[in-house]
Structure 1
Amino acid sequence: MDSNNKAILEKANAAIIEGDYEGFLSFCTEDTKWTFVGDKTLWGKKAVREYMATVYVEPPKFMVENLIAEGEFVSAVGEISMKDEDGKMVVYSYCDVWRFSNGKMAELKAFVIGTE
């Protein structure tokens, strides 16, 4: 189970890098919940789709340092780079903690810190 969830997250992240946001969302449950600690919470695919349309105008770039799986959870630690509202590339360190349900990404708790 652990390695299967890791593989699912790797496929989902590959879709994001390619700009295939609907492909990414196919790996999520309909009622997926994304919590950006200290910022906001998104409820459901519709909210995530709207978030991606505004924040991921250009696909982000990932550098995953570690993927750690245990039970229904997979944690990803690394860096993500994306353009801000002024078109400037910004680098963030992140730790995403994903909870899986029936082979789908059901919940995200994201810790994101600007590094520049």
Structure 2
Amino acid sequence: MSENNKAVLEAANAAITEGNNEGFLSFCTDDMEWTFVGDKTLKGKEAVRCWMATAYIEPPKFAVDHLIAEGDFVTALGNITMKDEDGKAAHYSYCDVWRFRGGKIVELRAFVIKTETKDETSSAA
């Protein structure tokens, strides 16, 4: 079961990187919840759809360092780059904990931290 969930998540994330938000949502239950820990919770597929339409100005770029699956959970650790409101690349480190029900994504708890690039760090000195 956990290997199947891992494959589902990989396919869902591939859809996001292709700019196919509806493809991603096809892997989700209608009652899914997406929690940005310390920020907000999106309840339901429609809320996630609306958020993706505004947050993903262009498809984000993922670099998954580890994908760990056990039972109904898959945990992804890595980095993501996406455009901010000004069109500049914003870099984040993340740990996503995905829960599955019946082979579909039912819950995401996203721990996301904005990071600086080396160029930004050196210019701040």
Match of 1:52 in 2: 52
Match of 1:12 in 2: 12
Which consecutive unaligned segments of at least 5 residues does structure 1 have? none
Per-residue displacement from partner, 1:67-101 (whole Å, max 9, x unpaired)? 00010000000000000001110110000000000
> Are 1:65 and 2:61 matched, yes or no?
no
Percent identity for Structure 1 against Structure 2: 72
Cα distance between partner residues in 2 of 1:110 and 1:39: 10
Alpha-carbon RMSD across the aligned residues, in angstroms, is 0.4
Q: Which of 1 and 2 has greater Rg?
A: 2
Match of 1:41 in 2: 41
Cα distance between partner residues in 1 of 2:65 and 2:57: 24
Q: Per the alignment, in what secondary structure is the counterpart of residue 33 of structure 2?
A: strand
Cα distance between partner residues in 1 of 2:84 and 2:40: 17
Which consecutive unaligned segments of at least 5 residues does structure 2 have? 117-125
Per-residue displacement from partner, 1:40-76 (whole Å, max 9, x unpaired)? 0000010000000000010000000000001000000
Cα distance between partner residues in 1 of 2:38 and 2:50: 20
Cα distance between partner residues in 1 of 2:10 and 2:83: 22
Match of 1:101 in 2: 101
How far apart are 1:103 and its partner, in Å?
Answer: 0.2
Per-residue displacement from partner, 1:3-59 (whole Å, max 9, x unpaired)? 000000000000000000000000000000000001100000100000000000100
Q: Per the alignment, in what secondary structure is the counterpart of residue 58 of structure 2?
A: coil
| Structure 1 segments of 4+ aligned residues over 6 angstroms from their partners | none
